[in-house]
Amino acid sequence: MKNIKNFKNVTFLLICLFFAALNFNFILKPLNLVTGGTQGVAILINHLLKIKPSTIVFIINIIAIITSYFLLTKDNTYSALIATFAYPLFIKITSFIPFFTLPENFNLLWSIIAGIICGITGGFIYYLGFSSGGISIVNLLVNKFTHIKISTANFIVNGIIIILGYFHFGFLKAIYSIIVIAISSIIINLILKKKRNT
């Protein structure tokens, strides 16, 4: 019974990661929305150095998972292991889907949709007890060595990434990125609150 439950959880995790990759390639990357996290770093580096986002995400995730293995708990490492390999793979696979060009005058709507998708996929990843790896591991490391709260570390690290996005893509893109983060954070909190109440 436990194996069946674990299989269902992993399957659902993979579905969430796949839709997160679609969201990345369909909305976040085309609109240059640097929303923090590994995907935000990938968009920045891709724009500056033309390295494929899937490659950037994979490198960051591998460095993070190795660091986690030596400096954090096994639970932290194992919870991020699947996403470390699956998410960049899904980004690479879905990058070949011929998406249509998003009209500029609907950027606010696209940002809201991206925030909803980020919130649902991220919320259920945490709900199932998994981690997305990458920058989330960086937040844990900051917490361990500075004793700053994880939520504060998350705010600081992602804040730095968003500021870099602001300097590179401009004020309006930064506002849209903040909208994505705000909506996704609300949805993630609602999903996790439901878990705490069950």
Q: How confident is the model at residue 198 (pLDDT cuts 50, 70, 90)?
A: low
Cα gap 89→147, rounded to integer Å = 34
Q: What is the pTM of this model?
A: 0.90
Is the pLDDT at 5 greater than 60? The verdict is no
Tens of pLDDT, residues 140-196: 888 888 888 776 778 888 889 999 999 999 999 999 999 999 999 889 889 988 777
Q: How confident is the model at residue 29 (pLDDT cuts 50, 70, 90)?
A: very high
| Predicted local distance difference test score (pLDDT) of residue 2 | 55
Q: Compute the mean pLDDT over every residue in the chain, rounded to the nearest whole number.
A: 88
Cα gap 191→49, rounded to integer Å = 37
Cα gap 115→138, rounded to integer Å = 22
Tens of pLDDT, residues 88-98: 999 999 998 87
Residue 15 vs residues 88, 97, 98, 128: alpha-carbon distances, Å: 14, 17, 20, 12
| Residue 150: partners with Cβ closer than 8 Å, 6 or more residues away | 139, 140, 143
* Cβ pair 125, 54 in contact under 8 A: no
Cα gap 165→173, rounded to integer Å = 8
